[in-house]
Amino acid sequence: MNTASGCGASGARVAATVTVVPRPGTPAVVSNNIDVCAGQNTIIFIQNPQDDLAYQFYDAPTGGTLVSTGPVFVVYAVNSNVTYYVQAVNANGCANAGARVAVAINVTQAPATPVTASDVTACPGTTIDLAVQNPNPSLTYNWYTAATGGTLAGTGSTFTTPVINAATTYYVEATNGNCSSATRAAVNVTLSSAPPVPTLESNNVNICTGGTATLRVTSSTTGVTYNWYTTATGGTPAFSGPEFVTPNLTASTTYYVQAVSTNSQCAGTSARIAVTVTVNQNPSTPVLTAANVGICAGQDVSLSVQNPQAGVDYQWFNAATGGTLVFTGNAFTVTGVTANASYYVQAVNAGGCVNTGARATATITVTQAPATPVTASTVNTCPGTTVDLTVQNPDAALTYNWYTAATGGTLAGTGSTFTTPVINTATTFYVEASNGNCNSATRAAVNVTVSSVPPAPTLESNNVNTCTGGTARLRVTSSTTGVTYNWYTTATGGTAVFSGPEFVTPNLNASTTYYVEAVSTNSQCAGTSTRVAATVTVGQSPDVPVLTAASVRVCAGQDATFSVQSPQAGVDYQWFDASNGGTLVFTGTTFTVTAVTANVSYYVQAASGATCISASRATASIVVDAAAPTPDVATANVVTCVGGTATLNVLNPDAALTYRWYDAPANGNLLATGPEYTTAALNSNTTFYVEALNGSGCSSQARKGVTVTIVNTIDPPLADGATICAGTSALLSVKNPQPGISYKWYEAAVGGTAGFTGAEFTTPQLNSSMTYYVEASSGGCVSQSRTIVQVTVNTTPASPVVASASVTACQGQTAMLSVQNPNAALTYRWYTTPTGGTAAGTGSTFTTPPINANVTYYVEALNASGCASATRTTVNVNVGAPANNATVTGNEAGICPGATATLTAASTTPNASFRWYTTATGGTAVATTAAFTTPALNQNTTYYVEVVTAGGCTSSSRIAVQVNILEALDAPVVTVSETTPTQVTFQWSAVPGAVAYEVTLDNGTTYIVPSSGAAGLTHVVSGLTPTQSVTIRVRALGNADCETSALSAAVTGTAENPQGNKIFVPNIFTPNGDGFNDVHYVYGNTIANVVVRYYNQFGQQIFETKDQRTGWDGTMGGRQQPVGVYIWVLRATLQDGSVVNMKGTVTIVR
């Protein structure tokens, strides 16, 4: 249709088909929640994917970013929880109906890689413990022999390796059950022929003054012990073991630990490792700026340390010890304090050391602020006048301060009454109360308004009560200057009966109304105010009450009742706990005080209306007598036969008390008096009650009940027999004995005379088995039969005979005690007491504990029946005297490495023998002769010798004998002490332990004795030319060859050159063959190289030399040159690099 013209199309309509394609189903995933370890990859799978659908993964439930397409989505390196959302889309682009399917990936953080010692040294053929440092108990630690993969070798924070014979690396990972650490920590195990150097938990430990430090070896090597020293070399161990607790230290100290082999696979000792214990000084106890601070309730208070130390923390607690840390710092502000409190401060330095002594105490004392004063809130006055403002019911102990501002401001006046300045405009004044330290929390406001007429008076009360014949005080509380107050008996008109702000009425017998008006005496306020009414209500005062009894005596716990005699109608009777004032405790004519336990008085007054009361109060006094105690009974349940009687008894009766028996717990009939009561014949169960009565006539506050149970017959009693040993008694007991029933013991089944009456029967001493019979009776009832009680008597063995009644043992050793010819059928028990006590041992032989003092043991024989011998046999153990300690020779000088030492022990103990050990205690003796030759030694070694007496007692301790391995002496330190043109003198300091020295000039090929002698400390090299150098080295000799030191550092000395760089050429020589001055030389001490040429008078060169040592012999070509003058030319290079050119003449003379 043409929308402009409204004309329809001329042709047919065109069809448009909309094809609706079904949406695909919601996809299903294999898992909607996937757990993965941090940093790992994970895969999301579509369950049963359809080939004709596309699966799209997004990072949001709607919208969001498409992150993957396909039925499999690989998520790489997941490090935090994340959720992906998948939808199915068909070929038409239609997504599944409903929401996308969420897949949550939950990340578990992998534990950190464990921390271990990275390198560990072990001895060949041993195992070693590898440990995780500071293990987490919630984690599992797995050990492998490969950095990744591999077979699990062990589990735990500590892992013991197999026997190690080659260098091996182990790897440990931590796992929390789901995730393992990203990498495994490697621990390299190397082998050493010597014990490995210990690894310490820490090489630096900090403690406080006076504390101890725990030093710990964390490496673990089998066959090794650890010795701790206070010196880097030598010295005696202060402790042996992997963990050393130092003594209390007051200064920083360095300890040294070395591993000592106890395994033949590793010889010798390791190097010592130092660990320094740094002792931090305790800081000084804090001194407070103020130890006691007073504040007003609700204020803040600041507590501070005086002169705080730098580097020290000040910790504030709410208790003198322990408690809660409430603040750290030099100054501590406590806000809004409302009650007294104390805080306690201690000083802590960076080393964690707390000051010695107690914490410093800061005490806060809180003073309560007075209440806000009460005043008239609004006062009216005339212009140009002053006003008296007054605090109502002022407290004389407080000061009242007046201001013109609600807070702050300038003090306008002081006192419970304040006269304002002249008022011309409305003004507000404020008053606060002060106790000298604290002010009221807020100030009370008094609004002063200004009026042109006198304001109507404000009365203290518009209704006042008085009693017949009394007066009333009427008071104006408003205060306006320039105003007087007139009082009338009529509302208008009339004559004033009084002028002034306070009017005391005449005595009144009837209620009366008065009226007061304000009359201006100031031209600023004209006329009078309206009158204000004050009604005085007159009431009748009642008489003082008269009591039926003014004093009542009761027993403790009883009630006391007071009553008013002939009470007046319309009058209230008010009972108080004080003669004046006090608390109103009851209103009424009769007052009952319940359960009175102490003397007390109450006071009653008569009141008519609100104001008229009797002239005084009547006193009602209660005097309390103590109640008798509730008695206890011998038994609360008694059994008797039908028709029988029962005897009831008070337990531990008091002769000063009277006991009364009743048939009811309260009231009832009095049946008998006395501590014992025998009932009448009874045919049914009955309960009786007893109370005590004291001399004051007061009974116990409760009665004690006793129930008598009636039975028709009595069952035979039950009792077990006994088995005893001959010569002893048996205790026979009735099972569950009943009160009120008598038990009799016989030696015959019927008849006979009872040998004992009671529930427990102790027989006489028996030597043969015996049968007893017990029957029960009560009143007229007797058990139908007697119960058989059999006593079986077993024989007792004879006292044992001991192998020796006196034994000697060495101090601190055990002794073996034995029974002679023991009987296998008997058991022998050893004691430290002749009777009783606990057995110290069992058996025919007994090894005592170590004996340090004479002691006596006792042995008894016990047969299979459990019967012991009548007496115990005595064995005395005496302490033998120990041997005297040994003295040892042979270790004085020390030995060379690889040599042996012969140690010889001696003792003052006669006929002594000796035992040599490698340990101070325990161990196996390595020799048992006085002279002991050690094996070849390569390190300092300590042996221990003990002395043994002929009786086998050892000396009180082993004597340590240290064999020191001699070491090479220190090399001498050589210097040049003196030089001359022809010699150099060398010197060196004496080397400790040296007995001689040797000098070498050829670097150790040959040696000579120093020129100053074998033990001399100097050596002179002579025959040198100027500037000639000589080099020597020196070694020190000891008593043994192994003490010879290394050669000293090479030291070079140079002969002096007094001529310096001078060159001398002689001007004459005589080559005549006489051996004197036959050759012409050039002389100079510092010539490095030289060229000299000789010329004849014709200028012909006749000779040249380039060697200072080769001179001209006066010939040319082997022919002598004639006598005469010749010319020489010289060019020389000196040792300092400078060049010298010279020329001159020389004359041949023959």
- Predicted pLDDT of residue 1140: 93
Torsion sign across C-alpha atoms 872, 874, 875, 876: positive
Hey, which of 51-55, 649-653, 907-911 has the most confident mean pLDDT? Answer: 649-653
- pLDDT at position 706 is 93
Tell me the per-residue pLDDT of 1004-1051, one tens digit each, with 9 for 90 and over.
899 999 999 999 999 999 988 888 889 999 999 998 888 899 999 999
Q: In the structure encoding, which two tokens stand for residue 1027, read together? A: 């500037």
Lowest mean pLDDT among 27-41, 146-160, 520-534: 520-534
Number of residues in the chain? 1150
All structural domains of the chain: 33-108 (2.60.40.10), 113-191 (2.60.40.10), 195-280 (2.60.40.10), 292-367 (2.60.40.10), 369-450 (2.60.40.10), 458-539 (2.60.40.10), 551-625 (2.60.40.10), 637-711 (2.60.40.10), 722-794 (2.60.40.10), 806-880 (2.60.40.10), 887-963 (2.60.40.10), 974-1054 (2.60.40.10), 1063-1148 (2.60.40)
CA distance 460 to 458: 7
| Residue 501 tokens, joined | 């702000």
Each residue of 968-1009: pLDDT tens digit? 899 999 999 999 988 999 999 999 989 999 999 999 899 999
Model pLDDT, residue 508: 87
Could you tell me which residues are beta bridge partners of residue 601? 621
> What pLDDT was estimated at residue 128?
83
Cα separation values, 589 from 584, 609, 745, Å: 14, 16, 70
Residue closest to 1062 by CA, chosen among 1134, 1147, 983: 1134
Dihedral over Cα of 908, 913, 915, 921: its sign = negative
Mean pLDDT of 468-488: 83
Query: Average of pLDDT values for 844-861?
Result: 93
Confidence grade of residue 41 (pLDDT, cut at 50, 70, 90): confident
Q: What is the number of alpha carbons within 13 Å of residue 1105 lying toward its C-beta? A: 15
- pLDDT mean over 930-934: 92
> In this predicted structure, what is the pLDDT of residue 164?
82
Per 3-state DSSP, the chain is made up of helix, strand and coil in percentages (nearest 5) of: 0, 45, 55
How far, in Å, CA of 327 to CA of 324, rounded? 9
1124 band by pLDDT with thresholds 50, 70 and 90: very high
pLDDT digits (tens, 9 = 90+) for 1109-1123: 999 999 998 899 999
pLDDT band for position 526 (cuts 50, 70, 90): low
Q: CA neighbours within 13 Å on the CB side: how many for 471?
A: 8
d(CA 128, CA 153): 14
Query: What pLDDT, on a 0 to 100 scale, did the predictor assign at position 195?
Result: 77
Spell out the SS3 assignment of 1005-1065: CCCECCCCCCCCCEEEECCCCCCCEEEEEEEEECCCHHHCCCCCCCEEEECCCCCCCCEEC
In whole angstroms, give the CA distance from residue 1144 to residue 1148.
14
Q: What pLDDT was estimated at residue 400? A: 92
Which stretches of 711-774 are DSSP H helices? none
| Rounded alpha-carbon distances, angstroms, from residue 198 to 135, 215, 243 | 20, 12, 12
pLDDT of the residue at 100: 93
Question: What pLDDT score does 472 carry?
Answer: 85
- The model's confidence at residue 948, banded by pLDDT at 50, 70 and 90, is confident
HSE value, Cβ hemisphere, 13 Å, CA-based, for 463: 3
Least Cα distance to 294 among 437, 433, 432 occurs for 437
Q: How confident is the model at residue 11 (pLDDT cuts 50, 70, 90)?
A: low
* Phi, psi of 1042, deg, nearest 5: -70, -10
Q: What is the mean pLDDT of the chain?
A: 88
Confidence of residue 884 (pLDDT cuts 50, 70, 90): confident
Phi, psi angles (nearest 5°) of residue 551: -140, 135
Q: Pick from 289, 374, 279: which is nearest to 330 by CA?
A: 289
Distance CA 613, CA 607 (A): 4
Would you call 1131 helix, strand, or coil by DSSP? strand
How far, in Å, CA of 116 to CA of 143, rounded? Answer: 12
Rounded to whole angstroms, what are the CA distances from 242 to 223, 253, 257, 260?
A: 13, 19, 9, 11
pLDDT at position 121 is 73
Nearest to 86 by CA among 107, 106, 105, 60: 60
Residue 5 has pLDDT above 60, yes or no: no
- Between the CA of residue 886 and those of 401, 717, 785, 867, 883, what are the distances in Å? 97, 78, 84, 52, 9
Task: Note whether 1064 and 1084 are within 8 A (CB).
Answer: yes
Would you state the pLDDT for residue 250?
A: 87
Q: What mean pLDDT comes out for the span 663-683?
A: 91
Residue 397 pLDDT exceeds 70: yes
Strands 427-434 and 1119-1120: unpaired
pLDDT at 2: 54
In the predicted structure, residue 59 carries a pLDDT above the cut 90: yes
CA distances from 1015 to 256, 307, 329, 894, 1011 (A): 37, 65, 70, 22, 10
Q: pLDDT at position 835, please?
A: 92
Are 117 and 199 in contact, with CB atoms under 8 Å apart?
A: yes
Interval 402-414: pLDDT, tens: 999 989 889 989 9
Which residues, in sequence order, are bridge partners of residue 574?
A: 587, 605
For the record, the structure tokens of 1142 come out as 């010279």
Model confidence at 50, pLDDT cuts 50, 70, 90, reads confident
Average pLDDT over residues 297-322: 89
CA distance 514 to 41: 103
At 163 the pLDDT is 83
In this model, does residue 616 exceed pLDDT 70?
A: yes
- How much of the chain, in percent, has pLDDT values that exceed 90? 43
Residue 280 has pLDDT above 90, yes or no: no
> Among 1097, 1094, 1072, which Cα is nearest to 1082's?
1094
> What's 1109's DSSP letter?
T
Q: At a CB cut-off of 8 Å and minimum separation 6, what does 727 contact?
A: 765, 766, 767, 796, 870
Residues 219-223: what's their mean pLDDT? 71
- Determine the pLDDT at residue 789: 92
Average pLDDT over residues 766-772: 91
CA distances from 638 to 251, 644, 705, 717, 992 (A): 80, 12, 11, 16, 104
Classify residue 67 by its DSSP letter. E
- Confirm if 420 and 447 have CB atoms less than 8 A apart: no
Instruction: Give the single-character DSSP code of 43.
Output: E
Q: What is the DSSP letter of 569?
A: T
On the question of pLDDT at 1 being above 60, the answer is no
Taking only the tens place, the pLDDT of each residue in 84-114 is 999 999 888 899 988 899 999 998 888 888 8
pLDDT at 76 over 70: yes
- Give the Cα separation of 488 and 474 in Å (integer): 12
Mean of the pLDDT values across residues 870-884?
A: 86
Q: pLDDT band at residue 6, thresholds of 50, 70 and 90?
A: low
C-alpha distances in angstroms, 476 versus 379, 388, 456, 462, 500?
Answer: 12, 12, 10, 10, 9
Q: Which of 313, 303, 290, 158 is nearest to 220 (CA)?
A: 158
Q: What is the pLDDT of residue 9?
A: 54
- What is the share, in percent, of the chain residues with pLDDT greater than 70? 96
